[in-house]
Structure 1
Amino acid sequence: MNRFAALLDRLAYEPRRNAKVALIADYFRDTPDPARGLALAALTGDLDFRHAKPGVIRALIEERTDPVLFRMAYDYVGDLSETVALMWPSKTVGENHVAASAEESDDGLLIQDNGPVLALPDIVEALDAAGKAALPGLLASFLDRLDETGRWALLKLITGGLRVGVSARLAKTAVAAMGTLDPRDVEEIWHGLAPPYEALFAWAEGTADRPAIRDPAPFRPPMLSHAVEDGDFDTLDPAAFAAEWKWDGIRVQAASAIEEDGRPARRLFSRTGDDISQAFPDLLEALDFPGAIDGELVIVRDGRVQSFNALQQRLNRKTVTVKMLASFPAHLIAYDLLVDGDEDLRPLAFADRRARLEELFGRLETDRISLSPLVAFADWDALGTARADPTGHGAGADADAVEGVMIKRLDSPYLAGRPKGHWWKWKRDPFNVDAVLMYAQRGHGRRSSFYSDYTFGVWRDTADGEELVPVGKAYFGFTDEELRDLDRFVRQNTINRFGPVREVTHAPDEGLVLEIAFEGLARSTRHKSGLAMRFPRVGRIRWDKRPAEADRITVLEALLKGD
């Protein structure tokens, strides 16, 4: 079995973080360039094959097997790559299966049943070069030459959905573990590199110096926080901390510098380092300063910070119209100053960086960027009061866009990743509503054999009486034991089926009530109820309630109005 397919297979079943790091690091040590770099790109989501879409894979398997059988199997398995890998017809000679060649190689190969060895770099090169028309035939030829594990690995590779429990940061940690690097060292230069990362691996192995990154306005790895948990405040001195509002936008980094040829280099990055500058030209124009700001991207209309739903209109767009720029003007609320001119401020304490940030705002001449206000508090109880009532504690008309508070140690340097003991996020308590379970669908991956995705609704008055109207979907918030109970209820109370979806009984006296927690509401034209929940999850199962006792849509309408 080749190392790349074996690596993915072992990672999928390995629950321990340190063991995953060791598996990946060993693979990198034993696999030469460029195969290991392409494997790293696959693990971090940096491989993209334009035309290799799930629809192409479904079309190929339905040409070779019974389409109805495939759909039934896919519904049960819940994972496209695994289903196709198992169902793909093996090559035969007469009635005899062609035996596997048992060839292996040291360059990260996929296994094959027969024919020349399929090397990972060759596969990537061929898929990159293939046009849309040629791709199905090329992909089919690869699948014909692979065994089940190899087919599964290939399909995971090209679809980008590995689902083996490895985050991009974990993969970078494994690179650092090849030698004596700190994972933050790898994060620092990551966004200036590209596959197959040969210079990165040479640095990690100690055979070359740190790769030089020449980008004048690079992305800097962000500092992240921990959620406040019970007992955290017992050991923390409030005098050692500052607090600021947690805004309902997306975390971004704004970087500005001057290129060697004298042209301005201005960039806006998402928290994960994606360059989103093209979608926000109105904000880019305002980055008329040399440095880098960490902050929150929001929409400000008529002088008020809008909710996340307004910002969604601007996200994930390659182009933006003049009308969109006017209707949804982008704005940056600055939290921190990472670089001032050519000076890296990250080693400084938060209090010192905050002072430098305030100095910068004395020089800025734009209304597109504002300074995040600090929240005054004497003790944790006082901060809790402000968190619960931002309107009366400085947020004013912008309170609807406040998610909670951020708590930052005054002497904390700006450290990449999620270091303990420095920053906390204390979100406002979620909204809760009792809703009736209406539909259920199987999950994916390890949940493929459970009905784990739930559609729920509340009661609405009509001319013919009350009806249940769907208001959201949730697929997390419950324990494994609760999942088994929910799955059992769905199977025992199914009244209708619509493909992979089961409708469960939801009469006033028969059915199941779920307490749903969510972060906010917005008007929506895509939902029958006219409402859309933000981040809904199952808070608890209300075995003690009948569906008739669930909430009415008037409760949600009141929440939307702030009543």
Structure 2
Amino acid sequence: MRAFAHLLDRLALTGSRNAKLTLVRDFLSETPDPDRGWALAALTGELTFAEAKPAAIRKAAEARLDPILFRWSYDFVGDLAETVALVWPAAPGANREPELSEVIETLRTTARASVQGHIERWLDALDADGRWALLKLLTGGLRVGFSTRLAKQACSDLATAKGLTIPVSDIEEVWHALKPPYEDLFAWLEGRSEAPSADNPGRFRSVMLAQAIDEDVDFARLDPAAYAAEWKWDGIRIQAVSERGQRRLYTRTGDDISGAFPDVLAALDFEGALDGELLVLRDGALAPFGDLQQRLNRKTVDAKLLAAYPAGIRAYDLLLDGETDLRALPFADRRQRLEAFVAKLATPRIDLSPMQPFETWEELTALRANPPPGDPALSEGLMLKRWDSPYEAGRPKGPWFKWKRDPHLIDAVLMYAQRGHGKRSSFYSDYTFGVWREDAEGHRSLTPVGKAYFGFTDEELKLLDKFVRDHTIERFGPVRSVRADQDFGLVLEVAFEGLQRSTRHKSGVAMRFPRISRIRWDKPSREADELATLERMLD
């Protein structure tokens, strides 16, 4: 447990990607099985402990400390694991420090009623860093800036350190057929066995990602005749797999969301693997992203939701046709086979993402700025794909580009703030903002229209945090209400991708991907935008 705690501490304090890779590679090289495998699973979010709830951690802390003092401490720090790790009364020599594998195996086999007792004994035995690592492991909120993609790169680097050449693409090919603690993976990476089998029906295949285009640089060097263009649909990227009786629907990161979309699974009447966009489609027409959100993050759905928000797939690539892997073929060939594949399915649940003909970048620029009515009006922009590009896992440079529309901008007033998590747990970094609304008597008041927690620099975060602390007027648990009226308030320029009507929000509107574009220290709060401005955008 100590080595894992040290790794998490170093990762949390390291900003460099390469430095993080080195830390994890060295850890995997020096740590024996199965601890290194369980650590890798924790870093990639593969571990969940249904019986270890945050409530059990709070209950354990309140049993050892004055409950009011603990709650004040938690409110000030803003992070449960960090708070308990710091205030837990030390008990030197109380117990033997647990191994990482011991903690995990215990939690996987222990009833909920016994979990609190185990947590207390482990906390007694560990130092502050160990307690923090343990609690982060239990709650699943590591927040150390280490993604699954980086984990695969660290595994490739481990193989290189052992004198082998195993590219990330080979690791990605078998990744979703592996199970923690990955002993067969490490045996392969260290040259002690052959590669694990990727023959797992219904498995996920790593997706190909696009780069953001730089219009000023890229268009000068790219030949428009070499690229295809299609709309970037405003849904979520998915992979639909139907293979030897196994039907699965995966997100771009490999999360299985099949349970929430039985209507889509029922339409996967084929042998193969499609790449596309999951959307709500009514009579073949695209619905706003907010409709799709009604179906997301659910384990199951009822008949009412299925009828109100019918989901489907807009296909734009074909990875597997029958038992034939098409990923090495050029995009032009895959596209031709995709068109025939979708036509043969003949189901309203799966349609084809159409190509957008163009001859010059100027012509495509005009199309992006003024999309035709219908589905394109709800798109996020355009995708560019080289006709000769194979389907490569990861984000290769050059074959695919995403060209999103310029974001919408409004000026809003900061109304509420809340502390963040991880590195931001000591800062007020989550901001709720509002615009002016005028009632029938002509009185103006602010109504919240969104919440954002990124878009600003670390230096700007410090200034925003100070503003919140200096101008807090009310407290609602962890939320701080700041002064915001016509004579005083902080104006934020907010960028967002889209807007839709919402019955769940008091303002009646919901923003898509809001972020702080600029802090308008110079602008009087009374000159911020009005709700009517957003309503005109909707119209």
TM-score (norm 1): 0.91
Give the 3 Å change call, closer, same or farther, for CA 173–382 of structure 1 in structure 2. same
> Is the 1:434–1:514 Cα contact (8 Å) retained in structure 2?
yes
Q: Does residue 516 of structure 2 align to residue 538 of structure 1?
A: yes
Determine the C-alpha separation between the residues in 2 that align with 1:449 and 1:417: 34
Alignment of 1:100-499 (within 5 A): 113-179=93-159, 180-229=165-214, 230-258=216-244, 264-391=245-372, 396-464=373-441, 465-499=443-477
> Is the 1:286–1:366 Cα contact (8 Å) retained in structure 2?
yes
Determine the C-alpha separation between the residues in 1 that align with 2:56 and 2:220: 56
Q: 3-state DSSP class of the match of 1:231?
A: helix
> Is the 1:307–1:400 Cα contact (8 Å) retained in structure 2?
no
> Is the 1:77–1:444 Cα contact (8 Å) retained in structure 2?
no
Determine the C-alpha separation between the residues in 2 that align with 1:425 and 1:379: 17
Report the alpha carbon displacement of residue 493 of structure 1 after superposing the two structures with TM. Answer: 2.5
> Is the 1:242–1:375 Cα contact (8 Å) retained in structure 2?
yes
Report the alpha carbon displacement of residue 359 of structure 1 after superposing the two structures with TM. Answer: 2.2
Q: How many residue pairs end up in the alignment?
A: 532
Determine the C-alpha separation between the residues in 1 that align with 2:100 and 2:453: 35
Query: Percent of pairs identical after alignment?
Result: 61
Q: 3-state DSSP class of the match of 1:362?
A: helix
Q: 3-state DSSP class of the match of 1:333?
A: strand
> Is the 1:78–1:445 Cα contact (8 Å) retained in structure 2?
no
Alignment of 1:499-514 (within 5 A): 499-514=477-492
Q: 3-state DSSP class of the match of 1:421?
A: coil
Report the alpha carbon displacement of residue 117 of structure 1 after superposing the two structures with TM. Answer: 4.3
Report the alpha carbon displacement of residue 296 of structure 1 after superposing the two structures with TM. Answer: 0.3
Q: 3-state DSSP class of the match of 1:292?
A: strand
User: Aligned-residue CA RMSD in angstroms?
Assistant: 1.6
Match of 1:95 in 2: none
Q: For residues 9-52 of structure 1, what are the alpha-carbon distances to aligned partners after superposition, in whole Å with 9 as ceiling and x for unaligned?
A: 11111222122112111111112211111111111111110021
Determine the C-alpha separation between the residues in 1 that align with 2:292 and 2:132: 38
Which AA in structure 2 matches 1:497? R
Moved more, 152-161 or 434-443: 434-443
Which AA in structure 2 matches 1:290? E
Q: For residues 248-304 of structure 1, what are the alpha-carbon distances to aligned partners after superposition, in whole Å with 9 as ceiling and x for unaligned?
A: 11101111222xxxxx22221111112222222222122122211100010111331
Q: 3-state DSSP class of the match of 1:390?
A: coil
Unaligned runs of 5+ in 1: 92-97, 99-112, 259-263
Moved more, 381-390 or 113-122: 113-122
Q: For residues 416-465 of structure 1, what are the alpha-carbon distances to aligned partners after superposition, in whole Å with 9 as ceiling and x for unaligned?
A: 01111111111111111111111222222222332222111111112451
Q: 3-state DSSP class of the match of 2:475?
A: strand
Match of 2:3 in 1: 3
Q: For residues 192-233 of structure 1, what are the alpha-carbon distances to aligned partners after superposition, in whole Å with 9 as ceiling and x for unaligned?
A: 111111111101111100111332222100001111234222
> Is the 1:433–1:516 Cα contact (8 Å) retained in structure 2?
yes
Alignment of 1:18-97 (within 5 A): 18-91=18-91
Moved more, 194-203 or 29-38: 29-38
Determine the C-alpha separation between the residues in 2 that align with 1:397 and 1:491: 47
Which AA in structure 2 matches 1:54? P
Give the 3 Å change call, closer, same or farther, for CA 469–117 of structure 1 in structure 2. closer
Report the alpha carbon displacement of residue 114 of structure 1 after superposing the two structures with TM. Answer: 4.5
Determine the C-alpha separation between the residues in 2 that align with 1:556 and 1:237: 39
Determine the C-alpha separation between the residues in 1 that align with 2:474 and 2:247: 55
Moved more, 369-378 or 439-448: 439-448
TM-score (norm 2): 0.95
Report the alpha carbon displacement of residue 481 of structure 1 after superposing the two structures with TM. Answer: 2.4
Determine the C-alpha separation between the residues in 1 that align with 2:94 and 2:63: 22
Q: For residues 165-200 of structure 1, what are the alpha-carbon distances to aligned partners after superposition, in whole Å with 9 as ceiling and x for unaligned?
A: 111111121112111211121111111111111111
Q: 3-state DSSP class of the match of 2:112?
A: coil
Which AA in structure 2 matches 1:118? P
Give the 3 Å change call, closer, same or farther, for CA 444–277 of structure 1 in structure 2. closer
Moved more, 497-506 or 336-345: 497-506
